[in-house]
Amino acid sequence: MFLPVRRELYEEASERVMAVLRSLVPQVEVLGWDEAFLGVDAEDPEAVARQVQQAVRQATAPDCTVGIGRNRLQAKLATGFGKPGIFRITGATWFEVLGDKPVDALWGIGSKTAKKLGQEGISTVSQLAAADPEQLARRFGPMTGPWLVRLAQGRDSATVGTPWVARSRSREITFQQDLADWDQVRREVAELARRVADDVAAEDLPAARVVVKVRYAPFTTQTHGQALPAPTSDAEALESAALVALESFPPGRPVRLLGVRAEFAT
């Protein structure tokens, strides 16, 4: 049995989750629809993790797993042990948790690299952590060889990305039944534009351009934009620009999805 992919629903849910995370901590590095790193400096990280879980559950209903570590590597791997709750890996517990695991249990080591390491007599995380970096440098290269050893030792110099800065605000609606009445399409776009205007005002950043997205039944998607005469957060100006952009779409075809995005002035 094959089920259709509802990409727009995944994106909408992901945006809600990431918005919740950004409201809790200033540093959020998004990895995909359902995963992100949080840069947190707290005496009780488990308490922060519980706060994150509660906030995400209230906003979206599904539960989330939180992995805690002193770096991204530890936190990433901790999520695999915490499902569906909270798990923490530290330097003191690293080998207790991962020492006997195969090397491809490490984030960044795939099956091909694991096979090559096996040819060197290295099959577990502990063995890789104790390996000679110079020996691995000769096999894997001067950068990759030592990096593999550091990886197995639980060391990661990468930090969570810089604080997120909003570049736009958007709203979308997917209709359960295709919308064939284009007068209704215009009303829906106007309503979306007003909701986006509220979001823009909350950001306290003026918008310079409005983009309208139309997905015709079944899956054809088009976008058209309209520049604003001057950066603004005025609701009437954003609504007017959205309706002007809508005029660029051929009318008459049934509509599955509508979206309005306001892009901030840079």
Positions marked active-site: 35
For 14-77, give the DSSP string.
Answer: HHHHHHHHHHH-SEEEEEETTEEEEE---S-HHHHHHHHHHHHHHHHSS---EEE-SSHHHHHH
Indicate whether 87 pLDDT > 70: yes
Q: What are phi and psi of 254, to 5 degrees?
A: -60, 140
Q: Tell me the three state secondary structure of residue 80.
A: helix
Mean pLDDT of the chain: 88
Could you read off the pLDDT of 158-205 as tens digits, one per residue? 667 655 566 788 999 988 899 999 999 999 999 999 999 998 888 778
Q: Give the predicted TM-score (pTM) of the model.
A: 0.59
Give the residue-averaged pLDDT of 115-124.
95
Confidence of residue 8 (pLDDT cuts 50, 70, 90): low
Per-residue pLDDT tens digits for 223-233: 999 999 999 99
pLDDT digits over 19-39, tens only? 888 888 878 888 877 889 999
Span of 36-50, 72-86, 152-166, 223-237 with lowest mean pLDDT:
152-166
Sequence-ordered strand ranges (E) for the chain: 27-32, 35-39, 66-68, 86-88, 168-179, 207-216, 221-232, 255-264
Q: What are phi and psi of 155, to 5 degrees?
A: -100, 135
